[in-house]
Amino acid sequence: MAMSYEQVCREYLAYEQNARALSMATIQAQKNDLRLFEEGCKEIGRTPFDLDEAGLQAVIDRLMVRYENASVARLCSTIRSFYLFLNLRFDFKDITLSLRSPSVSRHLPSWIGEKQMDEILESFDNDERGILDRTILMTLYCTGLRVSELCTLEDRRVALDQHSIRVIGKGDKERIIPISIACARQMKEYRDTVRSPLPPCSGRFFVTVQGKPLNRQYVYRLCKKVAMEHSLSPSTSAHTLRHSYATRLVEHEVDLRTVQELLGHSDISTTQIYTHIDSHRLRQTVDSALPDLFGNTGRTTDSQIDQTGEKPESADHTD
């Protein structure tokens, strides 16, 4: 190939960003994956352009020894997209068709219950800092926003009188999220008492008490502080609140497609993990829907079976 690997990677990443509208964070992750892939190829004396299927698998197998399965699985996903691009753009042979990537176990996400969340929100003072922090956590818990979406939420997209916000998510996709009356009330208190008196320096809805745009580091430190003060898991993060939001939706029987839309998932398979969190409600639903099988009404008890092991005839028995 006439172009260098670095040049091809630049063209590929530009395609991913422009044609597929991927976020900058995803583009950066793919850039890191491609750099790691090139280093892996060099270790076996090859380049990404002269590998065959066996050579590609050898590179992946070597990387699996040093890196977590999740990291290598993501790398494999990037490589598949990269070689598909090479095939379409340069008629290059796609050598990923038989690629075996490591399996990644999917752990159920942790979440915070409503009662515990109420206790957390009530623990904040009613000064400017307390109102800001309470509003941040309540908004995350009641909308399922990603941290990046929260920090970049524009004030003009917050319609508190209509109890909704318009969010620009991954791939610049817009979605409308309804908010509860309590959350709208809290966001209004923050806007009136903290944000509005500050000199306008940004179109962002969330700003610090100094009037600076909110950033991820602030939210990260806030979540860790809350986790420590309320004896939550050390892994508690803003994403835990997003999981909590999804969990509450499923518990209240919101269908999976709606949950997908509200969370901004591009693939329903990402949302399906939440189908495992409410087995108790599912069991209750089945028992209620099929009383003849699971209720006392139609169940044959041991006492109804005679010593021959046969059920006694019923006068109103029908086929």
Q: How far apart are CA 155 and CA 191, in angstroms?
A: 9
Say whether 274 is catalytic. yes
Catalytic residue chosen out of the listed positions 83, 141, 218, 274: 274
Catalytic residue chosen out of the listed positions 74, 134, 146, 195: 146
Say whether 188 is catalytic. no
Say whether 280 is catalytic. no
Say whether 67 is catalytic. no
DSSP 274: G
Grouping H, G, I as helix, E, B as strand and the rest as coil, residue 134 is helix
Q: How far apart are CA 157 and CA 174, in angstroms?
A: 11
Catalytic residue chosen out of the listed positions 170, 185, 191, 204: 170
Dihedral (Cα; 190, 194, 196, 201), 10-degree rounding? -120
Catalytic residue chosen out of the listed positions 195, 242, 243, 248: 242
Say whether 239 is catalytic. yes
The CA angle 267-272-278, to the nearest 5 degrees, is 155
Burial class (CB in 10 A: 0-12, 13-18, 19+), 179: buried
Say whether 163 is catalytic. no
Residue type, 157: R
Q: Which residues contact 265 (CB under 8 A, 6 or more apart)?
A: 271
Residues annotated as part of the active site: 146, 170, 239, 242, 265, 274
